[in-house]
Structure 1
């Protein structure tokens, strides 16, 4: 791997967190058609790409040099050389995909291990994929909002409810309704000073998409937390926060996707709390006092 491998060993030369190939797979649905050509070629020919110049990669993938550079930047690399170094590192020491489906032949210990590993991988992959610029915009929007409306159904409703609890604890006026009809009704109250946050793993949950669409029509700023970057919910978003979780037919009941969503909620909460630090501390103390009598 010639000159590329010369840069693989030093720890201080580590590239952006998370493997290049896993990032490409997770981001593929959000890429432009021209970027998908390059991504597909890299995914299918990773061992060859590390030997190729940018011109060769462009020609082989049917895209332009500018598209290659743009894709590198979207992945978090400063340029093509940095992407090649990351690829070489990955091929020398490939990351293990620990997501395994639970099967009828598994004993209890094996099934539990797989469930825990799937949850851990969903969290780590989401951290690798999370766009800090988008997260910062979401933090600013929530911190400045008059009201925050949270929408989700099924397991995604649990993430929405968790966000509600956390935001209220730091003094952010938030609203969550578990009933889909009430979610739709609540959008009538939204306006251009409000934020609507939708949670949907698929990005295609009708109740969530409908609520976001109605809130957006009222002028609310829309934040979408989803696993699918080209989904109906994502297309409504002013700010998109992507999760990265793999679901299987006999997986752990949507737990990896929920863990990924909860991790994004935690990231958003931490960001908001830091943004309004003094206010957050004051409200945490006050809300703590409010429930102190609920414990023996």
Structure 2
């Protein structure tokens, strides 16, 4: 059975208000859930005990005790330390295997919450766009810049901006048929929200790339790319997030390549680059 934490994240948008409250509590307090009985959990949330039981069963468990046990196992797996030699020398094969497994799990989780039809709609929107402005700041700028470059290679009129303030002039010039792509892991940056609102006012569509969470940027966007990547160690969580995001963007690019004329544009650009680079 898949991780209950992953199930809650994947199903959150389809849960009722009470179920979301229970799910959010479980996600935020997974490491403490073993100390809560169903009655205590219900009391902490001000709901009935039967709501907790029904929530557990909706996730595929026989009851709350099974859910609690499975959550405990998931937390233990996420917190399992990577082996380190006594002399503080990193066991490279062990680290590589653990990281590969973590990335695979994050990419599988991300794939499960991004339906194929949604990715096809995003590829179609990019194909039809007159202009595309891509904005990403901080750690999000690397993925945003690479995405804009790949769009350009496929013949999409894409411009990348690392600074939301400087991007405002470009966004103000967007109109019907254009698209603004915003990269923000947490989806909370006020400057990006202002850009999204400006684009919508101009008639352009908005694509967001964020974590699979309830965030204002995802809410305002016409299309949303969602990433599910979690680890108790911040430095590993960061790597898993960007790996899963890159895989998601690569899928969109491959689908865009299937659109009429895009592969020919790519071949033309690659031929020009070879002529420039060859001695």
Fold in common (TM above 0.5): yes
Aligned to 2:265: 283
Confirm whether residue 61 of structure 1 aligns to residue 51 of structure 2: yes
Task: Return the offset for 1:28.
Answer: 6.0
CA contact (8 A) 1:155 1:254 kept: no
Map 1:109-120 to 2 at 5 A: 109=91, 110-120=94-104
Cα gap change, 1:202 to 1:40, in 2 (>3 Å): closer
Confirm whether residue 225 of structure 1 aligns to residue 215 of structure 2: no
Task: Return the offset for 1:210.
Answer: 2.8
Instruction: State the superposition RMSD in angstroms.
Output: 3.8
CA contact (8 A) 2:229 2:237 kept: no
Aligned to 1:9: none
CA contact (8 A) 1:29 1:230 kept: no
Cα gap change, 1:220 to 1:60, in 2 (>3 Å): same
TM-score, scaled to structure 1: 0.69
CA contact (8 A) 1:37 1:61 kept: no
Task: Return the offset for 1:103.
Answer: 9.3
- Name whichever of 94-103 and 237-246 sits farther off: 94-103
Report Cα offsets for 1:42-80 as digits up to 9, x if no partner. 9989xx9xxxxxxxxx992279x9xx8xxx9xxxxxxx7
Gaps of 5+ in 2: 28-32, 39-47
Map 1:116-265 to 2 at 5 A: 116-246=100-230, 248=232, 250-252=234-236, 254-265=238-249
Cα distance in 1, alignment partners of residues 80 and 191 from structure 2:
31
Report Cα offsets for 1:60-102 as digits up to 9, x if no partner. 2279x9xx8xxx9xxxxxxx7x9579x99xx7xx889457566
Cα distance in 2, alignment partners of residues 99 and 279 from structure 1:
48
Task: Return the offset for 1:122.
Answer: 2.1
Task: Return the offset for 1:222.
Answer: 1.1
Cα gap change, 1:273 to 1:20, in 2 (>3 Å): same
CA contact (8 A) 1:198 1:225 kept: yes
- Name whichever of 198-207 and 94-103 sits farther off: 94-103
Cα gap change, 1:207 to 1:258, in 2 (>3 Å): farther
Cα distance in 2, alignment partners of residues 138 and 193 from structure 1:
13
Report Cα offsets for 1:109-147 as digits up to 9, x if no partner. 244544444333322221122222322221221111111
Q: In structure 2, the residue corresponding to 1:151 is in which secondary structure?
A: strand
Report Cα offsets for 1:236-286 as digits up to 9, x if no partner. 111222110125554247222111211111111112212x1x401211110
Confirm whether residue 27 of structure 1 aligns to residue 17 of structure 2: no
Q: In structure 2, the residue corresponding to 1:229 is in which secondary structure?
A: coil
- Name whichever of 154-163 and 112-121 sits farther off: 112-121
**Alignment coverage as a number of residue pairs:** 249
Cα distance in 1, alignment partners of residues 114 and 141 from structure 2:
21
Cα gap change, 1:295 to 1:102, in 2 (>3 Å): farther
Aligned to 1:77: none
Cα distance in 1, alignment partners of residues 262 and 206 from structure 2:
23
Cα distance in 1, alignment partners of residues 199 and 81 from structure 2:
38
Gaps of 5+ in 1: 1-17, 49-57, 73-79
